[in-house]
Amino acid sequence: MPLIDERRADIPRGRILYDAAQLRKADETLFSLEAWAAKGAAERLIGGRGSIALLEDEGARWALRHYRRGGMIAKLSQDRYLWLGENRTRSFMEFRLLAELRRLGLPVPKPIAARYERHGLTYSADLMTEWIADTETLAKALLSGHMNERSWHEVGRTIAAFHAAGVDHADLNANNILLRTHNPADAAGDAVYILDFDRGRLRARGSWEQQVLARLRRSLEKISAGAGRAVDESHWRQLLEGYDQGDRRTADGGR
């Protein structure tokens, strides 16, 4: 995949990191929902802690996410993080991790731009990535009955490819796994993407891989319970079969 042409732009209280291959320039209006709405380009907002907006500009579609805290600490601060230096801001770290994962050929959205704004000893942050069209989340596919054996295998193989590259996803769940939907009969219809690498990292392979799978299993259990049913064990076995196939293929050098 093409490399990211990383550039920086200064703003009054911080800095923007962006891909010059995707953007001609970057300024504060890039991250202003008000400015996008005024142009009629803020197509819709998606609820949840991530505060994601879908934007459109000259045919390009982007997802803009404002970083928000979860859990108990959100009662103290919804979107402020301790300042530890520019290169340790969540937005810059995720932008660069996505760029590296793209370089490795892994299925993640292109990073477009990242921003941080200083607020004394804290900062707030935003990230813009490409919007991957013709997809639905694993959570939605599970509830709508769109998953089949091949789909579960593909999810497992994709996760195995990330683990083979040493990618530790900090919160792999059914809402940040995307599946192609535009043509289920086509082999490309089952292509899988993984999103949201906030706090993700590259590391040596180890027991953390099983912890990631266990977290995904809990996510599927929670979604199924909310729909009044139990997780279908055959589905989880199919995912693990795909994972093992992908892991063996990596060990055999991709053959």
- Residue numbers in the chain where pLDDT is lower than 70: 1-2, 44-51, 71-76, 182-190, 250-255
Specify whether the CB–CB gap between 245 and 159 falls below 8 A. no
Contacts 24+ apart (CB under 8 A), 97-101: 97/197, 97/200, 97/201, 97/202, 98/129, 98/197, 99/3, 99/4, 99/6, 99/19, 100/202, 101/162, 101/165, 101/167, 101/197
The predicted structure's pLDDT at residue 37:
86
Distance CA(172)–CA(137), nearest Å, equals: 12
C-alpha pair distances (Å), 136 with each of 32, 192, 209: 26, 10, 24
pTM for this predicted structure: 0.91
Cβ contacts of 214 within 8 Å, gap of 6 or more:
none
In single-letter form, the type of residue at position 18 comes to: Y
pLDDT at residue 113, as a whole number: 98
Q: What is the largest CA-CA distance in the chain?
A: 54
Q: What is the pLDDT, as a whole number, of residue 44?
A: 64
What's the CA gap between 223 and 142, in Å, rounded?
9
Backbone angles phi, psi at 64, to 5 degrees: -110, 120
**Contact (Cβ atoms closer than 8 angstroms) between residue 67 and residue 124:** yes
Find residue 63's DSSP bridge partners. 54, 129
List the one residue out of 100, 134, 109, 90 whose CA is nearest residue 22. 109
pLDDT value for 185: 44
Q: Which residues are catalytic?
A: 171
Give the separation between CA 104 and CA 115, rounded to whole angstroms: 24
List b or e across 12-23, with b for residues whose CB sees 16 or more CB atoms inside 10 angstroms. eebbbbbbeebb
Determine the pLDDT at residue 184: 46
pLDDT score at 234: 95
Give dist(CA 92, CA 198) in Å, integer. 10
In contact, 54 and 44? CB cutoff 8 Å: yes
- Dist. CA 154–CA 180, nearest whole Å: 11
Q: Are 83 and 127 in contact (CB under 8 A)?
A: no
CB 176 within 8 A of CB 52: no
Give the number of residues written for the chain.
255
